[in-house]
Structures are given as structure tokens and as C-alpha cells.
Amino acid sequence: YVGLTLGWLDQQEIAYTSQSDLSHFSIKGNQKYTSFETTISGDYSSASFFFCAAAITGSSLTVEDVDKDDPQGDKAVLDVLQKMGCSVKWNSNKSVTIQGPSTSLVGGTFDLNDIPDALPVLAVTACFAEGTTILENIEHTRIKETDRITVMRENLERLGAHIEEQEDALIIHSHNTLRGGTVLGYGDHRIIMWMA
């Protein structure tokens, strides 16, 4: 999200300096934004719910108005799904088709440090993969709207998943035929969206 913001500042020729670790910024005052016309790319965070639904069901899905060159972090969900056995094909720079596998998804180890908002959607998706899936480097998701590591473990266990919680990871073992049940949203929109 910092990268997205800096991209817009660069496009508007707003002068700033930043440290290489992006922890401090200095922005000169009395600068001006100018009006412009552009098309805003679709939101990869929201699209990831549909990408993962196609992956789980072995379906084909085309999403339009997403920019292949957009710096949004959650675009990396497509890379994770590809490693899990999905086919991802860009039809143009603004349209992508995902095809879920005809057999089953394959587990793996995935570093979600740069895509923490994808943790809920990928945790559910991993429940449908063969083998063990490790979603790691996610300790910072404990300080989102809720502790998403604990909440996802608790909710998925309620639905029958075999899942372990570590300080900075979720480990999801293939087992998994999830069943219906009652889950808690904890006031966190991403938890509510994906548990539904």
C-alpha cells in the first residue's frame, strides 16, 4: 500500500524523500495536485475471493478491468494459486482467466509477508489442497482488525479443518472436507467475507 501511494505521488510529480526501509518520509509543503483522467484498476484484494473460488471448484473464471502491471500486492494471490496447480492466463493487460485444477489443489509453503490481507482467503483455499500448506511470515496479521491467525484457526476448526497455529504461521493439513457450521466474524470484514 505504501508503494501504491508513492506511485500516485510520482505520477503527480509530488516531491518527497524516504528512507530505504520506508519508515520515514519527508514531503515538501505547498505542492499542488493537478486534475487528470485515468482508469483505476480493479481491486485485487476483492478479486482474490473470486480467484480462490475458481481454484477450489476447478472452475474457469475471467476477471476484467484488472491491470497486469498494477503494483497492488494482492496480485500475488495469482502466483500462489498457480503454484497450487491453477492455470493463470492474461488475455490482455486488463483481463485474466484462472482455471482451477481438474484434480485437486496442491499444498505448499507460501510467504504472505507482502500480502497479509490474503491470509483468510488462502487459508480457506488451502483446506481444499492435497498435502500440507504452510502460510508463513504472517505475525503482523495479529494486529489487523482482529488476530487473523487465531481467528482463522478457530473458525476453520469449527468447520472441520485440521489446522495448526504458530506465532507467525498457519499450517493446514489436507483432510479437509469442510462442513457447514457457525463461525464468528469478530467485526472483521475479511473474516466475514471469506467464512461466508
Q: Provide the annotated active-site residues.
A: 117
Sign, Cα dihedral of 115, 151, 140, 5: positive
Phi, psi of 60 (to 5 degrees): -105, 135
Q: Are 152 and 127 in contact (CB under 8 A)?
A: no
> What is the rounded distance in angstroms from the CA atom of residue 162 to the CA atom of residue 141?
20
Q: Closest Cα partner for 126 from 87, 90, 152? A: 152
Torsion of CA 88, 149, 191, 175, to 10 degrees: 60
β-pair partners for 63: 96
- The identity of residue 189, as a single letter, is H
**Which sign does the torsion angle of CA 153, 72, 144, 25 carry?**
positive
Q: What whole-number distance in Å separates Cα of residue 39 and Cα of residue 66?
A: 10
